Structure 1
């Protein structure tokens, strides 16, 4: 399962005061994508596992992952900016980097609009404001266009299958809920007690979901054969769709492509 959904308490992260960072450690795939989007990807000296877009990102040195990062290696690299991710980096690692005196910026967008905020902030921190502003404006314009195209559409009951074993979905406050809302989808587990609840197949059958959207991970797709429950409208009408998890789960400029894919799937069930 994508580890983007782990929750930790909010660290006290300081934001860089000096502009023009030249040596950047980016500790998440989405921040790598953001830095390339604003034209400073060539300044990244290290990153974590799964940072694979754009193609150039694959050649960046890896110094850890969700299980933790190599603090000693970061010290050796001596970056003037470390971009952390509160939801995907260990809190102890983040606090250690702060204690060592590194300039740290927490890129942890909670909704789609905040992707643009981070693009602009990273532009300030790298003295690349003009390209960052252009990237942010383009992103927001595309997002607004999609919202406008869907705001009058009839709501559709959506079940988002985050993972199959255990069976997990998304609820209010989650990143993916933001995407479903743009498409005028009605998340059947919106009011669950947690952002990423575990549930049973019986729970899903009771919702009468009209469309099932799954993250495109083989283990997730093969984990449950929904054809065994044709009483569910999504199954009866063949509205089960698989989406690229990187586009849906990463808070990057490519989220626009994820929104488009989600809306296309939901539109098919209208």
Structure 2
């Protein structure tokens, strides 16, 4: 019975999609974007006006504000997406794997983008540029970002590198691996990620492991406070805690280093500035 109901629902959704496409020919070159990284890339390529639907997390730049909301990153309103009759739906990985498959089953073109490295992000810019007819702009943006990244990386050459612990969750403790996008930015900007190897890009870590790693600097995105952090058992031995090199969202916004998009260069500059502050205090 459940299988029949699901099949009927799929048929109804497909009929709705066909109906909307007939009623809305102006949307044939428009896009629904479920990934904030991809939304930023499309906007940077000058096609924000072609985006007709976004998730709540697609909050940058200003040119995306006022677009039709189709849900949250992990809770997409599929009927709303279909009703917009987009040419392409841009999705991400993780929680959006299922919605990507469901939309494809209904005959809707889906492009999944989930870059895990800087190199992959740069290639994604080119792929997305081709899909939306912005090949030249994409090549220009890629070259501009490559140049900026190289400049930041070279400026850190020969300088002392602080050990960096980035906390993305408090209970349980979670951090980032070197082979994650965030971990790579930490390294390229002139730091050393203290958890170079984890079982996943973003994984649990033990408090004892943080103490043993003895980071020089802590970036806290776990919504904890400095007062609480300094009183964690045994953490008073950690250089970052002893020397108060603890930084929060107001010091470096997480979107600048957690989103694999054009603003990662801003994030790298912010990281490099924090490293310089550490060098000035410790050398």
Aligned residue pairs, count: 248
Query: Greater relative contact order: 1 or 2 (C-alpha under 8 angstroms, separation 6 or more)?
Result: 1
* Residue of structure 2 in register with 1:157 after alignment: 163
Moved over 4 A (4+): none
Helix, strand or coil at the partner of 1:225:
helix
RMSD: 2.0
Give unpaired runs (5+ residues) of structure 2: 1-27
8 A contact 1:116–1:136 mirrored in 2 = yes
The alpha-carbon distance between structure 1 residues 101 and 220, as it changes in their structure 2 partners (threshold 3 A), is farther
8 A contact 1:165–1:220 mirrored in 2 = no
8 A contact 1:171–1:189 mirrored in 2 = yes
Question: In the alignment, does 2:55 pair up with 1:51?
Answer: no
8 A contact 2:176–2:183 mirrored in 1 = yes
1:17-41 per-residue CA deviation (whole Å, 9 max, x = no partner) reads xxxx721011111111111100001
The alpha-carbon distance between structure 1 residues 148 and 58, as it changes in their structure 2 partners (threshold 3 A), is same
Give 1:223 shift. Answer: 8.7
* Residue of structure 1 in register with 2:240 after alignment: 234
Question: In the alignment, does 2:229 pair up with 1:225?
Answer: yes
Question: In the alignment, does 2:208 pair up with 1:199?
Answer: no
Match runs of 1:63-142 below 5 Å: 63-89=70-96, 91-142=97-148
Give 1:88 shift. Answer: 4.3
Bigger drift between 227-236 and 157-166 goes to 227-236
Helix, strand or coil at the partner of 2:218:
strand
8 A contact 1:68–1:93 mirrored in 2 = no
Please give the alpha-carbon distance, in whole angstroms, between the structure 2 residues aligned to 1:209 and 1:49. Answer: 35
From 256, 260, 265, the equivalent of 1:247 is 256
Please give the alpha-carbon distance, in whole angstroms, between the structure 2 residues aligned to 1:55 and 1:37. Answer: 11
Give 1:155 shift. Answer: 2.6
Bigger drift between 97-106 and 150-159 goes to 150-159
Bigger drift between 126-135 and 247-256 goes to 126-135
Q: TM-score, normalised by structure 2?
A: 0.81
Give unpaired runs (5+ residues) of structure 1: 1-20
1:117-152 per-residue CA deviation (whole Å, 9 max, x = no partner) reads 122211111112222222221111111111111133
8 A contact 1:158–1:266 mirrored in 2 = no
Question: In the alignment, does 2:38 pair up with 1:38?
Answer: no
Please give the alpha-carbon distance, in whole angstroms, between the structure 1 residues aligned to 2:67 and 2:112. Answer: 20
The alpha-carbon distance between structure 1 residues 24 and 260, as it changes in their structure 2 partners (threshold 3 A), is same
8 A contact 1:165–1:223 mirrored in 2 = no
Give 1:161 shift. Answer: 1.2
